[in-house]
Amino acid sequence: MDIDHPEVNVLQAEFRALPDVLYQSLRESILNGSLPPGSELRQELIAKQFGVSRVPVREALSRLQAEGLIILRPRRGFAVTSLDLAEIIEVFELRMVLEQHALETATRLRTESDVLAVEALLTAMESLDPQAEGYLPAWLDVNREFHNRLIASARRQRLSTLTINLRDTIEPYVRIESYFTGQVDDAAAEHRALFAAFKDRDATRAGEISRDHCLGSMNRLVDSIRRHGLSPVMMTPKKSRRAR
């Protein structure tokens, strides 16, 4: 029996270079709101914070750009993507189509262990104390894992990546919304219904619930934006002196 086991996945996980670390860290900062939409990303600053040069920083930024999380203004640097209402709605449209398909496939192909894992996340989500400190971010995290685990049951790598990507794109806006409303658990019943259909292998119904769930999330967010605007923190109050 060999002791040292340079497994393939270990190699891929362990040996990932600096750009990957930077990519993950920056991505997380964007998703959890530390870098709100509109923030400018100074390469030198990021490089210093991580103790590296600007080269791997640029590589990580390139990836985030291809993913759509940040945009590049030539010669003017990167900035966190700031979506307007129409773009947010478009992302939700895509999520509706893809997640309906994903849940149909997942429900058809799921195993027993999928059901157990999803149920564990569901009960974890439900048993969070709404009064506890940091409830909202914790709920959002578990909610995210719940949906990811459901979709992962479809065993479709690209489908999973795409769907997660789209959800992450609007995650900052959902998080900001949650600070206004202070509520997130409007969809508790939908989650239970979705899990029931998933468990009962009712693929069509699971797909429909998932699509409607997306639609509900979209409506809540759009309403909130219509009421509160796109949140002051998103607007970069840059004084543009010259129109030029």
Partner DNA sequence: TTTCCATAAATCGTATACAAAATCGGCGGC
Partner DNA sequence: GCCGCCGATTTTGTATACGATTTATGGAAA
- By the criterion CB under 8 A, which residues form the site for a copy of itself? 6, 11-12, 15-17, 19, 55, 58-59, 62-63, 65-68, 74-75, 87, 90-91, 93-94, 97-98, 101, 105, 156-159, 162, 244
Q: Which is nearer to a copy of itself, 8 or 189 (CB)?
A: 8
The one among 24, 34, 53, 204 contacting DNA by CB under 7 A: 53
* Tokens (6 digits) for 72: 């590049």
Judging by beta carbons within 10 Å of its beta carbon (0-12, 13-18, 19+), is residue 206 exposed, middle or buried? buried
- Least distance to a copy of itself from the beta carbon of 244, Å? 7
The one among 36, 37, 56, 172 contacting DNA by CB under 7 A: 56
Amino acid at 160: S
Residue 3 contacts DNA per CB under 7 A: no
Tokens 């439900």 locate to 126
- Which of the listed partners (a copy of itself, DNA, none) does 54 bind, with a CB threshold of 5 to 8 Å by partner kind? DNA
- Which of the listed partners (a copy of itself, DNA, none) does 208 bind, with a CB threshold of 5 to 8 Å by partner kind? none
Question: Which among 11-19, 113-121, 192-200, 223-231 is the span making contact with DNA, rule CB under 7 A?
Answer: 11-19
Residues 16/57, Cβ–Cβ less than 8 Å: no
Residue 76 contacts DNA per CB under 7 A: yes
Taking the CA atoms of residue 107, residue 112, residue 114 and residue 116 in that order, the dihedral angle to the nearest 10 degrees is: 120
Residues 154/105, Cβ–Cβ less than 8 Å: yes
Phi and psi based region of residue 7 (left: phi greater than 0; alpha: psi -120 to 50; beta: remaining)? beta
Judging by beta carbons within 10 Å of its beta carbon (0-12, 13-18, 19+), is residue 175 exposed, middle or buried? middle
Q: Which is nearer to DNA, 65 or 148 (CB)?
A: 65
The one among 32, 33, 38, 54 contacting DNA by CB under 7 A: 54
- Which of the listed partners (a copy of itself, DNA, none) does 5 bind, with a CB threshold of 5 to 8 Å by partner kind? none
- Which of the listed partners (DNA, a copy of itself, none) does 157 bind, with a CB threshold of 5 to 8 Å by partner kind? a copy of itself
Q: Which is nearer to DNA, 158 or 238 (CB)?
A: 238
Element housing 105 (H / E): helix 85-109
Residues 206/195, Cβ–Cβ less than 8 Å: no
